[in-house]
Amino acid sequence: MTSRRRFLQSSLLAAGAAALPALGAEKNTAVSTARPAAASGARVVSTWDFGVGANQAAWPVLADGGSALDAVEAGARWAEADLCNNTVGRCGNPDRDGVLTLDASIMDGDGRCGAVAALEDIAHPVTVARRVMERTPHVLLVGAGAQQFAIEQGFPKQPLLTDKARAAWNEWRKTSKYQPQINAERLDQAKPGDKTNHDTLGILAIDRSGKLAGACTTSGMAWKLHGRVGDSPIVGAGLYVDNEVGAATASGVGEEMLRNAASFLVVELMRQGRGPDEACREAIDRLVRKRPQASKTLQVCFLAINKHGEVGAHALHRGFVYAVCDANKRDALLDSPSVYTTQQT
């Protein structure tokens, strides 16, 4: 048994929770093995390997009996502050014009939501999104208006573009080729000098009282056109939460999620009776049916949790991983099933 497989198996046993594909399922066929959440009922799940850190930042809130909303905000803030992550928050890569613009959304299971898009020079877009939700009659603020609101709310305006991100942009300008990389998010697969050009933290939580919340935060696709907004700040595309059913979030090329109201779709599929894994899979399959050619070259990933705390995921391409944290295990990192087994790093 390979060490990777051993690791996955022990994660599976320890987590005792997440919906997983059968180990060794070569075709990455989703198998519904979802089990209910651990005794405390609290659980937090996040996209990608840095989701482990985000979950650990969120967990103390849940363990103390705090709300899912506070937990996902704490997890998202951790990722936004992480200087190793060049596609979320203050260390993100800029757009084609060298400008770093951030997108974020937050939502609870009662349908309260807030979001910001194309926000510049403000370090914690997820908290600005929460202020939009709690202190305005609106859902989404963009660009200069979002920044003005943040400053009025007391957020410091500060230049965020790091020297590393500027250097990566200067390097990119030598060719100016916009080509999203599949699974650029996987830090463990990055080679020295790799230029990650897309990435997002999607984080979903269920608290002890059984309430759900989610957040999504990103600098979007690196080298995007200035003004481009992805799925992450669009409620229903990059994030959707409903206490009656469950929650879903997405990562990958946001245009595909925008075309399909994808996170809403995953939640609606769960409402119709599918488990989180099956719902994610059907959403991916639908995408393949609609755009069979495009789907071969880009990555799209869904992560979902239902109101019972069962977790599922599915991706277009192999390589998507997601982190699960609950009272049993804080650092489980699980492989998602996928439609295609190709992997490009």
Residues lying near ligand SD4 in the complex (CB under 6 A) are found at 185, 198-200, 218, 220-221, 230-232, 251-254
Q: Where are the beta strands (DSSP E) in 134-233?
A: 140-142, 201-206, 212-218
Which residues, 6 or more positions from 240, have their beta carbon under 8 angstroms from its beta carbon? 107, 214, 247, 248, 249, 263, 264, 266, 267
Dihedral-angle region of residue 331 (phi above 0 means left; psi in -120 to 50 means alpha; beta otherwise): alpha
Minimum gap (Å) between residue 130 Cβ and ligand SD4? 19
Minimum gap (Å) between residue 269 Cβ and ligand SD4? 20
How far apart are the C-alpha atoms of 166 and 146, rounded to whole Å? 24
Backbone angles phi, psi at 311, to 5 degrees: -120, 145
How far apart are the C-alpha atoms of 22 and 3, rounded to whole Å? 17
* DSSP bridge partners of 185: none
Instruction: Tell me whether residue 231 or residue 277 sits nearer to ligand SD4 (CB atom).
Output: 231
Instruction: Tell me whether residue 211 or residue 228 sits nearer to ligand SD4 (CB atom).
Output: 228
Q: Which residues are catalytic?
A: 200
DSSP letter (8 states) at residue 210? S
* DSSP bridge partners of 113: 107
Instruction: Tell me whether residue 121 or residue 199 sits nearer to ligand SD4 (CB atom).
Output: 199
Instruction: Tell me whether residue 275 or residue 319 sits nearer to ligand SD4 (CB atom).
Output: 319
With H, G, I as helix, E, B as strand and everything else as coil, classify residue 165: helix
Whether 231 contacts 220, CB under 8 Å: no
Minimum gap (Å) between residue 253 Cβ and ligand SD4? 6
Minimum gap (Å) between residue 256 Cβ and ligand SD4? 8
Strand 338-340 with 311-317, pairing: parallel
Instruction: Tell me whether residue 17 or residue 122 sits nearer to ligand SD4 (CB atom).
Output: 122
Minimum gap (Å) between residue 135 Cβ and ligand SD4? 25
Instruction: Tell me whether residue 199 or residue 242 sits nearer to ligand SD4 (CB atom).
Output: 199
Give kind and range of the element (H or E) at residue 241.
strand 239-242
> How far does Cα 92 stand from its chain's mean position?
15
* Side chain identity at residue 10, one-letter code: S
Instruction: Tell me whether residue 42 or residue 216 sits nearer to ligand SD4 (CB atom).
Output: 216
Minimum gap (Å) between residue 202 Cβ and ligand SD4? 8
Minimum gap (Å) between residue 84 Cβ and ligand SD4? 16
With H, G, I as helix, E, B as strand and everything else as coil, classify residue 263: helix
Quote the Cα angle for 20-26-31, to 5°: 30
What DSSP line would sit under 267-278, residue for residue? HHHHHTT--HHH
